[in-house]
Amino acid sequence: MMHGIAVESDQQLELPENRLLRQLQDVLGDYLEQEHIDEIVRAYHFGAEAHSGQFRKSGEAYICHPVSVAISLGQMRMDMRGIMAAILHDVIEDTPVTKDELADQFSSEVAELVDGVTKLSKLDNKSRAEAQAENVRKMFLAMAKDLRVIMVKLADRLHNMQTLSAMSAPSRRRIAKETLEIYAPIASRLGMNKVRHELQTLGFKALYPNRFEVLDHYVKKSRGNRREIIETIQSSIQNRLDQVALNGKVAGREKNIASIYQKMRYKKISFHDVFDVYAFRIFCETVDECYRALGCVHNLYKPVPGKFKDYIALPKANGYQSLHTILIGPYGVPIEIQIRTHDMHKVSESGIAAHWLYKSENESNESVKARANEWLRDLLEIQKTAGDSLEFIDNLKVDLFPQEVFVFTPQGDIVKLPRGATVVDFAFSVHTAIGNSCVSARIDKKLVPLQTQLENGMTVDVITAVWARPNPLWLNYVVTAKARSSIRTYLKHFQQQEAIDLGRRLLEKELLAINMHLDQVDPTRIVELLDALQVKSMDDLLEDIGLGNRMPILIAKRISQEDVNAAVKLDDQVSHHDTTPLIIKGTEGMVVTLAKCCRPIPGDSIIGYFNPGKGIVVHHHECRNSHDVRKKHTNWLDVEWSEEEASGEFPAEIRLELMNQRGTLATVASTISSMESNIENVTVVDQDDRVSVDLITLTVKDRVHLATIIRKLKKLNIVLKITRVKA
């Protein structure tokens, strides 16, 4: 008896870290060689010594956390170095140990894995959002090299969520929000549904504790009432499978509380409407049996039209495969059924972890890993062009919540896109060059605009043009990260090139006034000028001029002086202002913009002024704002319309006083249309029983075209007065 008490007290005295180490060794013993386990134990002792004296908020030794992470990965049958990285994943961040020391002690592979998981240091000058974004970005770069990085990170996050109760309330909410926004969707994207469900449940519980408690209470309360119906449905499905000699096994499926809550919010329905759906899974041996089982259940219960999805023939982006159908069961209750093979179920639960879990089995594990790598390659391409980490995170979140549509290229290839994707998204998914030059498309041989949303089964043929380029308005309706990132990158470089070209024209114009040419200036003088202005290259200087950040006349003066370091007096600049106007077409793009206050059109006398960072803004000479500009002699210049190249459609605004009677506006609109002009906007400024005062923005080719339209409108007996708005 005394001997039994001694054993019990020994167990009570055993330190938590030693108990966890034994548990880890037991898990690893199932699949690793003893020499590998010994190496992992050596990593444990190294980590325990490095973290010596450190404790978690719960009070236990810090080493308990990395060992718990390693146990999770051991259950996924992670390889030796992945387990070692899990045990050591915090040593670089939280102890004096360096990456080089880890590489010397263990291997460069382990050191790289640990470094991939380690948070960035020296982020004090950044906001929390930027720091988080930078960490996630760094993690994805490491993931692209080795998928084990994200496995360690997800297991780390899972244990942190399991022990979240020791944290303060604000920290709990912040960590839970980050988990739900970033880590649970990453687990989903990598097909790790078991981990995703746990992260979602723990995240929801921490973020909305009261809502979780209420839903948990109702789930437990409703379970008893449902048991009889569940058993009836399950046995009837199983009997039907047995009758046709199908080797399938039926199992009930419990919805997790987080997904119940999401469905209630998304579909705006009550708890009982969600929980009244009974969910089952049928597990078969082969794909052929899956389709036969589908036929069986459709014969047993009536299927709901439009609610069948075949993810076996068209797997989800994360490799998930299954047949989904909804039936009307006994008592009129809806039944959700998923039919899959046992191998598909393993992959569905474990995702890329299946690569380590079931290495000896079929190729579906490899296909999941290939899909994950393909996704990471896309993300790498996006991160190269993303302006900053916050933009990368925005793009990432777009990709983490996909509901796919499947469309076809004209050659019959399947392209997978998120729900809500447009023709532009499709074009960029095929190739960036096609996206950059698309102008419209044919869907099932019918012409459609670029903003058309795609649906399953469509055949999309993109029409491109050599002159076409991405439009900033596309950003309002594209949904894929690749399209968004490509458009932003193109526009950024396009504006830069436009600014350089405009800067060159402006500088050449000023140099011409003092009988000089830019190409004839001594290169050493240019180098001296760039040094004096502290500018890296001539292109950077020209871009600054084009964007209005530097005055071209000042740069021209400095080039002409013997000493480029000498300052130019402002009075001298003004007195020698070149009177030759800059010729514009009005279609230059982003660095030459037409002011919306006065809407100048070809034929108008115009004036331009430099808006720092944006380029030249062109105003009508009679615009009130241009009078203010002229007082500032330092930043205006004379501009003129090009007689040959100013072509296109330009917006102009007219003010109409009309008789307020039925059909008046329709008559005005048809008159404008008959004059080959489009109406862009109509605003009713004032209205009474007799008169309506309207502002109409219409497109015209030039001043003559506008005058012709105004004359035509004046002849209408409903038009009392008409004027052009110039300010």
- What are the structure tokens assigned to 634, written together? 């330092």
Q: What is the pLDDT of residue 286?
A: 92
Looking at the DSSP bridge assignments, the partners of residue 721 are: 657
- What are the structure tokens assigned to 683, written together? 């605003």
Condensed to tens digits (0 to 9), the pLDDT of residues 602-646 reads 888 888 877 766 677 888 888 877 776 666 545 677 788 877 666
Best CA proximity match to 415, nearest among 351, 375, 460: 460
The answer to whether the CB of 19 falls within 8 A of the CB of 26 is no
The answer to whether the CB of 96 falls within 8 A of the CB of 88 is no
The answer to whether the CB of 68 falls within 8 A of the CB of 51 is no
User: How far is the C-alpha of 590 from the C-alpha of 614, rounded, in Å?
Assistant: 8
The string over 175-198, giving b where at least 16 C-beta atoms fall within 10 Å of a residue's C-beta and e elsewhere, is bbebbbbbbbbbbbbbbbbebbbb
Say whether domain 218-366 belongs to CATH 3.30.460.10: yes
Say whether domain 15-162 belongs to CATH 1.10.3210.10: yes
Pick the residue with more confidence: 364 or 536?
536
| 491: amino acid identity, one letter | L
Q: What is the pLDDT of residue 387?
A: 59
The answer to whether the CB of 551 falls within 8 A of the CB of 634 is yes
432-435 long-range contacts (CB < 8 A, ≥24 apart) are 432/482, 432/486, 434/462, 434/464, 435/470, 435/483, 435/486, 435/487
- Across residues 171-200, what is the average pLDDT? 85
The string over 44-54, giving b where at least 16 C-beta atoms fall within 10 Å of a residue's C-beta and e elsewhere, is bebbbebbeee
- What are the structure tokens assigned to 174, written together? 């912040």
The answer to whether the CB of 574 falls within 8 A of the CB of 633 is yes
User: How far is the C-alpha of 428 from the C-alpha of 311, rounded, in Å?
Assistant: 25
The string over 657-668, giving b where at least 16 C-beta atoms fall within 10 Å of a residue's C-beta and e elsewhere, is bbeeeeebbebb
For the chain, give the percent of residues with pLDDT over 70.
Answer: 80
Q: What is the pLDDT of residue 5?
A: 44
Q: Where are the alpha helices (DSSP H) in 514-617?
A: 523-533, 538-546, 552-560, 570-575
Domain residue spans in the chain?
15-162, 218-366, 581-646, 650-724
User: How far is the C-alpha of 458 from the C-alpha of 454, rounded, in Å?
Assistant: 7
Q: What is the pLDDT of residue 550?
A: 75
- Across residues 334-361, what is the average pLDDT? 76
How far apart, in Å, are the Cα atoms of 173 and each of 156, 176, 188? 18, 5, 21
How far apart, in Å, are the Cα atoms of 203 and each of 165, 176, 178, 211, 394? 12, 5, 9, 12, 20
| 300: amino acid identity, one letter | L
The answer to whether domain 218-366 and domain 650-724 are alike in fold is no
**Which is catalytic among the residues 79, 94, 216, 638?**
94
Q: What is the pLDDT of residue 614?
A: 66
Predicted confidence (pLDDT) at residue 565 exceeds the cutoff of 60: no
Q: What is the pLDDT of residue 525?
A: 77
Looking at the DSSP bridge assignments, the partners of residue 252 are: 280
Q: What is the pLDDT of residue 205?
A: 92
Strand, helix or coil for residue 443: strand
The answer to whether the CB of 493 falls within 8 A of the CB of 470 is no
Predicted confidence (pLDDT) at residue 167 exceeds the cutoff of 80: yes
Q: What is the pLDDT of residue 374?
A: 67
Angle (CA) 272 278 282, round 5°: 160
On average, the pLDDT of the chain sits at 80
Best CA proximity match to 692, nearest among 721, 713, 672: 721
At residue 121 the predicted structure's pLDDT band, cuts being 50, 70 and 90, is very low
Best CA proximity match to 108, nearest among 85, 87, 137: 85
- Counting Cα atoms < 13 Å in the Cβ hemisphere of 388 gives 7
Any residues with CB less than 8 A from the CB of 578 and at least 6 apart, and which?
Answer: 509, 510, 512, 513, 553
- Across residues 691-716, what is the average pLDDT? 90
Any residues with CB less than 8 A from the CB of 292 and at least 6 apart, and which?
Answer: 244, 246
Q: Is 93 a residue of the active site?
A: yes
Best CA proximity match to 547, nearest among 488, 583, 582, 504: 504
Report the chain's C-alpha Rg in angstroms.
34
**DSSP code for 692:** E
Place of tokens 């008789």: 659
Q: Render 329-354 in DSSP notation, one character per residue.
A: -GGG-EEEEEEEEHHHHHHHHHGGGH
End-to-end CA distance of the chain: 101
**Do strands 323-328 and 334-341 pair parallel, antiparallel, or not at all (unpaired)?**
antiparallel
- Across residues 199-226, what is the average pLDDT? 86
Predicted confidence (pLDDT) at residue 325 exceeds the cutoff of 90: yes
Condensed to tens digits (0 to 9), the pLDDT of residues 55-96 reads 888 788 899 999 999 999 988 888 899 999 999 988 988 888
Of 270-279, 289-298, 415-424, 448-457, minimum mean pLDDT range: 270-279
Helices 64-75 and 34-50 pack at an angle, to 10 degrees, of: 150
Pick the residue with more confidence: 116 or 103?
103
- Beta strands (DSSP E) in 645-711 are 650-659, 679-687, 691-700
Q: What is the pLDDT of residue 190?
A: 77
Predicted confidence (pLDDT) at residue 427 exceeds the cutoff of 80: yes
The answer to whether the CB of 300 falls within 8 A of the CB of 240 is yes
How far apart, in Å, are the Cα atoms of 289 and each of 118, 282, 284, 343? 46, 10, 6, 13
**DSSP code for 521:** S
**Which is catalytic among the residues 10, 26, 90, 93?**
93
User: How far is the C-alpha of 422 from the C-alpha of 427, rounded, in Å?
Assistant: 9
Q: What is the CATH number of domain 650-724?
A: 3.30.70.260
For the chain, give the percent of residues with pLDDT over 90.
Answer: 19
Best CA proximity match to 584, nearest among 644, 625, 540: 644
Q: Is 702 a residue of the active site?
A: no
Q: What is the pLDDT of residue 420?
A: 85
Q: What is the pLDDT of residue 87?
A: 93
Helices 342-350 and 364-385 pack at an angle, to 10 degrees, of: 30
Condensed to tens digits (0 to 9), the pLDDT of residues 256-288 reads 888 888 888 877 888 877 766 788 999 999 999
Strand, helix or coil for residue 673: helix
